[in-house]
Amino acid sequence: MTLLSVNINKIATIRNARGGNIPNVIEAAVRIQEFGGQGITVHPRPDERHIRYTDVYALREVVHTEFNIEGYPTSTFLELVKTVKPEQVTLVPDPPDVLTSNAGWDTEKHLHFLQDIIADLQSVGIRTSIFVDTLRKNMQYAKETGTDRVELYTEPYAAGYASNREEAIHHFIQAANYANELGLGLNAGHDLNLDNLAYFHACIPFLKEVSIGHALIADALYFGLENTIQRYLACLKG
């Protein structure tokens, strides 16, 4: 079974555009879980342009499924997650000023850096995942970091899906099988949506979790939040 974790950053973006507390990020997380969402993902950035650190503390009180916190492992971020103790921390290589995650880790180059951070997080009982592309080398060194899981960066799949979905999925299938050979749990995320998710799920073995935010929240504007979550869950059946 592949779980759906809903990234609620975009809800916070809308709130922050006007100030105040509409839409209410905490209420959204509660409703998402009531509607069948199996996890809540947030990515607090240093400038707090969407999710704020105060949101993270408040969300810990209401997330009873799986709480997944993404981010670059600055000292401030690590202090936050070790205090909140989410079920999973997903480490991304983003510099603080990027608009959105746009690459996976070079796990060979950052091996020792990641080893120390992952060991620190695991010592307080937090499951770790690291954002990677499909290169075999990056999967191999991901194993050496000691991480529990990897999250495949799926933007290249999404970009190629419309023109040739078989070609677009090819390297992801190979990466999924190799991750399993290495004993790594497998997550995926970035630009997955109602058009491309079912095919991705059907083709990728051993997929534990997908994290979807931008497309899902945009779809909710048309279909409503409850209906949208049910549509995404339907893509993950079978």
Catalytic site positions: 43, 70, 190
Do the beta carbons of residue 85 and residue 73 sit within 8 Å?
no
Distance CA 55, CA 48 (A): 10
Do the beta carbons of residue 103 and residue 93 sit within 8 Å?
yes
Strands (E), the chain: 3-7, 39-42, 67-71, 88-91, 127-132, 149-153, 185-189, 207-212
Tell me whether the omega of the peptide bond preceding residue 23 falls within 30 degrees of 0, making it cis. Answer: yes
Distance CA 228, CA 153 (A): 23
**Neighbouring residues of 164: CB distance < 8 A, sequence distance ≥ 6:** none
Distance CA 62, CA 225 (A): 18
Distance CA 95, CA 45 (A): 10
